[in-house]
Amino acid sequence: MIIRPRRLRRTSALRRMVRETSLAPGQLVLPLFVREGLTEPQPISSMPGVVQHSRSSLLGAVDSAAQAGLGGVMLFGIPEHKDAVGSGALDPAGILNLAIADVVAEVGDALTVMSDLCLDEFTDHGHCGLLTADGRVDNDATLEVYAEMARAHAAAGVDMVGPSGMMDGQVAVVRAALDGADHQDVSILAYSAKYASAFYGPFREAVDSSLEGDRRTYQQDAGNAVEGVREALLDVAEGADIVMVKPALGYLDVVRRVRDAVDVPVAAYNVSGEYSMVEAAAANGWIDREAAILETLTSIRRAGADVILTYWAAEAADLLR
Ligand code: PBG
């Protein structure tokens, strides 16, 4: 036998030297939840270790994120009052707009400050857009609200908005709204290939979602990969600076296909259910938690993601040190 692949696996130095995939804190983005009216952080029971922040505890979290050398944070706001049109999303004194300004003032350019640009946290029906009289999600009426939301986030100082509602044309409308308000430098992380997934389950608790039913008329069907590439290409054409695939683990083939098809950075969102499955198994002693975290994130990178949104971002940065 001349060829023995095991030779390169003999020592950790050899393995380190020939490892194809890197994982670094700067590639990780930490999603953070901030809830209006809280005076102290509130645990999310379905996501052990993750909390809904108060405005002030959020600042501690972003300081640690900057300290850990993360690439950025993705902010989600949970208003005290929800209504049919998601008014809290547009109000300059709404929780997300305030939190963006707080975070930017706290960390400046030390982190990329990103915001979830979507209505589902703000609507009492829990959908990502406005509803027609007969209860369908109205694509084009929703776009007008997204445009206004983009301007509000930009006015609060955000670096990058993350339109996540899967409305057709949303990236073009957000780009035009930003440019029209003299915010040419605010970039767009497009949730391009976002699937209607059972793995968002714990997130619904995280944002006190009131959704009944599902999002299958706007989020993608789990069976479709070609369509995921189509969505990503459309978003690039509409001006997306980064395109994202979500969830990550069940869709690593889509991550790879999108990576091969576009010439902008690709992100993947390691979603709440993916997080909670590992946490639950680890809590039962069924899995080596830290090894599972690093293996999960490495796999997402190997599939082609340049950037990973993960609730483990800060901890993974520590593990990598
Ligand atoms: C929509 C949004 C969702 C998530 C991120 N942005 C929920 C949904 O589309 O149903 C899910 C994130 C996760 O599960 O971790 N604003």
User: Distance between CA atoms of 105 and 206, rounded to whole angstroms?
Assistant: 25
Helix, strand or coil, per DSSP, at residue 138? coil
Q: What token pair was written down for 227?
A: 């369509």
Q: What are phi and psi of 191, to 5 degrees?
A: -75, 90
Ligand 1: centre distance to CA 19 (Å): 32
| 143, part of any domain | yes
Residue 12 lies in a domain: no
In this predicted model, what pLDDT tens digit does every residue of 242-297 receive, in sequence order? 999 999 999 999 999 999 999 999 999 999 999 999 999 999 999 999 999 999 99
Catalytic residue chosen out of the listed positions 125, 194, 215, 301: 194
What distances in angstroms separate CA 48 from CA 43, 64, 297, one per listed residue? Answer: 7, 19, 18
* pLDDT confidence of residue 212: 86
Contacts of 250 (CB under 8 A, 6+ apart): 195, 197, 199, 222
| Domain membership flag for residue 65 | yes
Atom 5 in ligand 1: residue holding the nearest Cα: 164
Instruction: List, for residues 62-109, the tens digit of each pLDDT value.
Output: 999 999 999 999 999 999 999 999 999 999 999 999 999 999 999 999
Q: Does some domain include residue 8?
A: no
Ligand 1 mean position, distance from CA 30 (Å)? 14
CB 304 within 8 A of CB 255: yes
* 82 catalytic per annotation: no
Terminal Cα-to-Cα distance of the chain (whole angstroms): 39
Compute the mean pLDDT over every residue in the chain, rounded to the nearest whole number. Answer: 97
Q: What is the helix (H) or strand (E) element at residue 34, kind and residue range? A: strand 28-35
Q: pLDDT for 135-152, tens place per residue?
A: 999 999 999 999 999 999
Residue 215 alpha carbon, nearest atom of ligand 1: 10
User: Do the domain assignments include residue 9?
Assistant: no
CB contact at 8 A, 95 and 81: no
Residue 15 in any domain: the answer is no
- What is the per-residue pLDDT for 152? 98
Distance of CA 261 to the CA centre of its chain: 21
Range of the domain at 247: 22-320
Segment 167-198, tens digit of pLDDT? 999 999 999 999 999 999 999 999 999 999 99
Active site residue 194: yes
DSSP 260: H
Distance between CA atoms of 52 and 41, rounded to whole angstroms?
6
Q: Whose CA is nearest to atom 12 of ligand 1?
A: 271
The CATH number of whichever domain residue 129 belongs to comes to 3.20.20.70
| The ligand 1 atom nearest the CA atom of 116 | 16
Q: Which residues contact 14 (CB under 8 A, 6 or more apart)?
A: 7, 8
CA of 18 to the centre of ligand 1 (A): 36
Q: Is residue 244 domain-resident?
A: yes
Helix (H) or strand (E) holding 105: helix 95-107
Reported as half-sphere exposure (CB side, CA atoms, 13 A), residue 126 has a value of: 13
Structural domain total, the chain: 1
Q: For residue 5, is the peptide bond before it cis, meaning its omega torsion is within 30 degrees of 0?
A: no
> In which element (H, E) is residue 115 found?
strand 112-117
Distance from the alpha carbon of residue 157 to the mean position of ligand 1, in angstroms: 23
3-class SS of residue 203: helix
Q: How far apart are CA 171 and CA 271, in angstroms?
A: 22
- What 3-state DSSP class applies to 189? strand
Return d(Cα 292, Cα 255) in angstroms, integer.
Answer: 20
